[in-house]
Structure 1
Amino acid sequence: MELQQRVNAFVKLGEFLSQFTESPKTIDIDNALVDGFKHQLKLAKEHNGWFSKNNLDFSLTSWTDCLSLENLNQWTSHYDFDLKTPKTVAIIMAGNIPLVGFHDFLSVLISGHSVLIKQSSNDKHLLHYLAKYLEHVEPGFKGKIKFTEEKLDGFDAVIATGSNNTARYFEYYFKDQPSIIRKNRNSVAILTGNETEAQLSGLSDDIFRYYGLGCRNVSKLYIPENYNFDAFFNAVYKWKDIINESKYANNYDYNKAVYIMSEFDMLENGFLMIKEDKSFGSPIATVFYEKYSDIEALKSNLKSEEDNIQCVVANGFDSSEIAFGQTQEPKLWDYADNVDTVDFLLKL
């Protein structure tokens, strides 16, 4: 199967995903296939309370946009796909947000390898159906996609995502195979006090999208001395209805009680708490902040912590920054942990 065949198949998959967005593309499709995926979306929502309709819709829309012919061609044009010996690549997926492992799945197949998938129990309904649809539109993928719930066996390389604790296990267990092992990471935002209302509104999306469960969600703010949070709280107010969702509300109430009993200083607005803390990973419904007085010292500090940071959201901070509101809209070439997955796969 040639590269363009693989690209065209994923374009068709993107067109299929568009049927579940606000702007479906006109394609000739069996309604039974659409109904089947609607059922899987229903099961995913029932199985995982964090997979709300809004979050599922956002994920599907994001992947619809990514899987355009233009985006796929631009992404693949940077590599030489002259693969001499296709391998089997195992993927151990996380389950914190919908289809969080899809990019690894896409990368393995677009590279010409076969894939062996071990899904998280928290996100086990969607990808299996999409894989079947992919085989439906491109029979060349048949036999190249396998799912397992058993111990991984018969693979040549592995891509594994987990917590810092599980990553240590992965590093030991897969020490004899080529691997990409992903650990806990969080995203931060650098504020100066000069942000526009639109930028702070975008930041609120970076914080609240997927309830803050993703590694690309902003969980910590760096603020100048004497920063006034009024504009920030005004901008995030558009997310106020999130407190009406039970799982989020339960976490908000619990963490607020812990902070009050511990007599921690914090600011809160009824659905978000702001707490001064040097840590990167904040609990659900909480954002940490840390003050800075010297921007160059802050750059040096973040450089030393780069293994713990996924995204830096800012305006004019450095060349690798991400614009406010863009953390959950990565391009195909925006790789997790800055590790080029396709380059790794093509060198196997």
Structure 2
Amino acid sequence: MKIQDKITAFSQLQKKIGMLTDDELQDLAARAKQKNGWFSYEGVKNALQGISFMLEKSKLEKWAGDYNLNTDSPKIVGIVMAGNIPLVGFHDLLSVLISEHFAAVKPSSDDEFLTRTVIEWITEIEPRFKKNIEIREKLTGIDAVIATGSDNTARYFEYYFKDIPNIIRKNRTSVAILNGEESDEEFKALGDDIFSYFGLGCRNVSKVFTPKGFDIRTAFPHFENYQDIANHNKYRNNYDYYKSIYLVNKTPHLDTGFLLINSTDELVSPISVLFHQEYDSIEKLKTILDDQKDKIQCIVGKDYIPFGKAQRPELWDYADDVDTLAFLTDLK
């Protein structure tokens, strides 16, 4: 299949997503939630909008145009998908199909319904893709693999797939850098980066760095649009648990009623908790971040990813800064 045909197919997928009615979105979310209680209507809608954001035809053409995607020797590429947020493995699937390889997909049990649904959509739009996609229970007989999981599962992946080309992704998180001059709109947008998908994504901000002496409570009034998050049973359980732990241990913290803020040098906060750390200078902060770069997915701030855009990556914003399409085009 020609690259342009594939680009046309995926741009048509964008149109299909854009034409989904609210009732259809509600139905998709309800069915997805049967397997994963974290998959809310807002989360499923946001994930589909994120895919639609990537699939603009001009973006697909720009992205694909930077690589030599013609291959005389297509490979079977296994894709082990995570299930922490809806359709988190879509970019890997898109990359394998654009690069003319065969996608052997192992969806997460937490996200199997939505993964199967999107695969059905794209194969209905372009039936020729049926020859290039297969959902598998076990990834045997593959030539390469892209696997996403936790630090623990990554050790298993590294051993099991050690003899074939691979991309193995581990746990990561994201941070925000404030300079103390943020506008009301930027604080509100920061709320999107913190609370979308309940904070479960690697691109969710789990820690905020602020200049020494800055009062982090300045941001709190701008997070009020998210206070209903505490009504979600799973999120509330986390909030109540960590609040009780902090109170019993007399751990200093701030409490908005739906988010706990803990000042610490640690990086990865639990759900319902935002870590906070002051910095003396940008130079010292950059050293801190460089020391932890293998755990940081992205940085939000005025000189980095704009506030509110952490969960809107472009096609070329590769997870873990590993160029997936270059990896796929280099397969021999």
Name the TM-score, length of structure 2 as normaliser: 0.96
Measure the CA separation in 2 of the matches of 1:162 and 1:13: 27
Residue type matched to 2:194 in 1? I
1:21–1:63 Cα change, 3 Å: farther
Show the counterpart of 2:74. 86
Assess if the C-alpha contact under 8 Å between 1:197 and 1:231 holds in 2. Answer: no
Match of 2:125 among 134, 137, 142: 137
Aligned to 1:25: none
Alpha-carbon separation, structure 1, partners of 2:180 and 2:124: 52
**Which residue number in structure 1 is paired with residue 18 of structure 2?**
18
The structural deviation recorded for 1:241 is 1.3
| Corresponding position of 1:178 | 165
- Per the alignment, residue 283 of structure 1 pairs with 270
Tell me the C-alpha RMSD between the 2 structures: 1.5
1:109 paired to 2:97:
yes
State the distance in 1 between where 2:28 and 2:276 align: 39
Deviations 1:290-317 (A, max 9, x none): 121121011122112111100111113x
Q: Deviations over 1:273-303 (max 9, x none)?
A: 1001222110111000112112101112211
Question: Structure 2 counterpart of 1:208, which letter?
Answer: F
What is the CA-CA distance between 1:41 and the residue it aligns to?
Answer: 3.8
Partner letter of residue 6 of structure 1? Answer: K
Structure 2 Cα separation of the partners of residues 194 and 15 of structure 1 = 39
> Do structure 1's residue 325 and structure 2's residue 325 form an aligned pair?
no
Amino acid at match of 1:141: F
Which has the larger displacement, 207-216 or 286-295?
A: 286-295
Matches within 5 A, 1:217-228: 217-228=204-215
Q: Distance in 2 between matches of 1:125 and 1:182?
A: 23
SS in 2 for 1:204: helix
Distance 1:38 1:315, change over 3 A: closer
Distance 1:255 1:220 in 2: 16
Distance 1:301 1:230, change over 3 A: closer
| TM-superposed deviation, 1:247 | 1.5
Partner of 2:45: 57
Q: Distance in 1 between matches of 2:231 and 2:308?
A: 23
Work out the CA distance in 2 between the residues paired with 1:267 and 1:325: 23
Long gaps (5+) in structure 1: 23-33
Q: Contact (CA 8 Å) 1:21, 1:61: kept in 2 or not?
A: no
SS at match of 2:34: helix
1:95 alignment partner in structure 2:
83
For 2:15, what is the secondary structure of its paired residue?
helix
| SS of residue in 1 equivalent to 2:153 | helix
Detail structure 1 runs of 4+ shifted over 6 Å in the superposition.
none
Give 1:46 shift: 2.3
Paired AA for residue 346 in structure 1: T
Question: TM-score, normalising length from structure 1?
Answer: 0.92
The answer to whether the 8 A contact 2:29-2:39 is kept is: no
| Count of equivalent residues | 331
Q: Which residue of 2 aligns with 1:243?
A: 230
**Which residue of the other structure, out of 45, 56, 61, is the alignment partner of 1:73?**
61
Q: Is the 8 A contact 1:160 1:182 kept in 2?
A: yes
Question: Shift of residue 229 of structure 1?
Answer: 2.1
1:268 equivalenced with 2:255 (yes/no):
yes
Shift of 1:39: 5.0
Deviations along 1:24-76, one digit per CA (max 9) or x if unpaired, are xxxxxxxxxx97x8755431022211110011111111212221211211211
Within 5 A, what are the aligned runs for 1:176-255?
Answer: 176-255=163-242
Give the whole-Å Cα distance in 2 for the aligned partners of 1:65 and 1:152: 30
Q: Corresponding residue for 1:8? A: 8
